Amino acid sequence: MSYLLPNLTKKKQVDSIIRDTIDKVLVLRFGRASDALCLQLDDILSKSAREVSKFATVAVVDIDSEDVQVYVKYFDITLVPSSVFFFNAHHMKMDSGTADHTKWVGAFHTKQDFIDVVEAVFRGAMKGKLIVSCPLPPERIPKYQLLYKEI
């Protein structure tokens, strides 16, 4: 699970990984190790991390650590797990037909889905697009309800 992926608990670590990943997509998973869906996502991430290693880096952030709460607030993370994509320290949005384009909420069905998503992000980023559309069909995208400002 997380022993294969860098596990980040401090804001400084998150900062450094965002700043040091150059010309590669950075996938930051925000979640906790006790959540079942999060574990499923971690499984997929760790298995496909090597396959996308040429154009992507995957890291895991523990949502329960205090130091990282500022990021939790900044990224508006309300549902677990949530994955945020970065490219050259710029945040990449993905339109997957859900309400929240700024992150990917939920897990992936297969490794290939994850690889496709990361590839789409990479291709868009290389072309200079800050938002890309999701290559997965709607049935493979996890659905969720996003409440307005946490009401």
Partner 1 sequence: MMKSADKKRKKESKKCEFEFCKVCNLNHDHGNRHKYFPNHTKSLSTFLHRFQTKLSDIRFFLRNPTILRPELASRNRFWCVVCDAEVDEIGSSFACANAINHLASADHAKKLKHFLWKYGGGMDHADNFRFSEADLAKWEKKCHSLNDGSSSCSDRTNGLQIGPSNDIQNELSYKSINDFENNNLGPLTPKFLNNVLPLQYNTHKYQISQSGHPATAADGRIVCGAHITASGNACSASDRWNSNNITGWQNSQHCIPHTDAVGTSNFGNGGVSVLLTPFDLSFRVNTWPLEGAIYTLYTQLMVIFSGLASIAQVSVMAPGLAEGNVHTGAPPPWLEMTVEHHPEDTSVPLSSKKGKSKLNPKRVGAAWAEKRKAELEMEKRGEIVNSDCGPNWLPNFGRVWQSGSRKESLKEFESEKPELPKVEVDPEMPITLRPYVSKRMVDVILSVEVNCVRLSMEKTVMGPDGMWQPNGMEKECISGMPKIEVCSLPGMLQQLVWGGYSTLWIQVALDLAYLLGVILQKQSVAP
Own/partner contacts of 123-132, CB < 8 Å, gap of 24 or more, are 124/92, 125/25, 125/87, 125/88, 125/90, 125/92, 130/90, 130/91, 130/92, 130/93, 131/92, 131/93, 131/94, 131/95, 131/101, 132/92, 132/93, 132/94, 132/95
The piece of 8-16, 30-38, 39-47, 50-58 that touches partner 1 (CB under 8 A) is: 8-16
Token pair belonging to 134: 């999701």
Say what angle helices 36-48 and 111-127 make with each other, to 10 degrees. Answer: 70
The residue from 47, 129, 138, 144 that contacts partner 1 (CB under 8 A) is 129
The residue from 3, 34, 36, 73 that contacts partner 1 (CB under 8 A) is 73
18 binds partner 1 (CB under 8 A): yes
The residue from 58, 60, 86, 136 that contacts partner 1 (CB under 8 A) is 86
Contact indicator for 56, 24 with CB cutoff of 8 Å = yes
74 binds partner 1 (CB under 8 A): yes
76 binds partner 1 (CB under 8 A): yes
x-or-dash pattern for partner 1, window 26-65, by CB under 8 A? ----------------------------------------
Residue ranges in contact with partner 1 by CB under 8 A? 11-12, 15, 18-20, 22-23, 70-71, 73-76, 86-93, 100, 102, 124-130, 146, 148-149
